[in-house]
Amino acid sequence: MLRLNTRLLANCVEGLSDEQAARRPVPPANSAVFLVAHLVDSRHFLLTMLGGSSPNPVAPYLADARGIDDVRRLPPLPELLAAWASVSAALNDRLASVEPAALDAPSGQRFAIDDRSVLGGLAFLVQHDSYHIGQLAMLRRQHGLPAMRYT
């Protein structure tokens, strides 16, 4: 699912101009560029939760932000897509070396699920990816672009 979502995010924003990506259809809706930045940040959080690390290029932009209205500016979409590809590759590498016992350990997080293990956190954050990718697919259509491709 992580690899599928990696590809789907890129497919959702393919053909979006920087202007379209920054536009909010109606407040309080998020913009595509904000959603991509949020998902890059979320994947960095997941990587850290799994014991990996990688510099998070969106952290300075999202520091102390509780939502889009708290964010002053974001990197351009191509830069965010590069960050998405980088953290996704690091996450794939990390998952290949995670020991099963580490997945059973408590995550220390309070996600909106009953399973408090690292594996439960991983499952929640994969679903979180999918939720926001669905939002990106809707935004794509609102900008007059064809539906997102699965291939």
Of 40, 12, 88, 60, which is closest to residue 20 (Cα–Cα)? 12
- Lowest-confidence region among 9-13, 22-26, 130-134: 22-26
Q: 115 with 101: CB under 8 angstroms? A: no
**What is the mean predicted confidence (pLDDT) over 84-91?**
98
**How many beta carbons lie within 10 A of that of residue 19, not counting itself?**
8
pLDDT digits over 94-120, tens only? Answer: 999 999 999 999 999 999 999 999 999
Residue 29 located in a structural domain:
yes
DSSP 3-state assignment of 46? helix
Q: How many domains does the chain have?
A: 1
- The CA distances from residue 73 to 54, 65, 88, in Å, are 22, 11, 23
**What is the mean predicted confidence (pLDDT) over 23-33?**
93
**How many beta carbons lie within 10 A of that of residue 70, not counting itself?**
10
Residue 149 located in a structural domain:
no
Residue 27 pLDDT: 84
Which pLDDT band holds residue 28 (cuts at 50, 70, 90)? Answer: confident
Q: What is the pTM of this model?
A: 0.96
On the question of pLDDT at 124 being above 90, the answer is yes
Of 106, 98, 81, 92, which is closest to residue 54 (Cα–Cα)? 92
What tokens appear for 14 in the block? Answer: 């393919």
Q: Domain with 108 in it: what CATH number?
A: 1.20.120.450
Residue 150 located in a structural domain:
no
**What is the mean predicted confidence (pLDDT) over 29-35?**
97
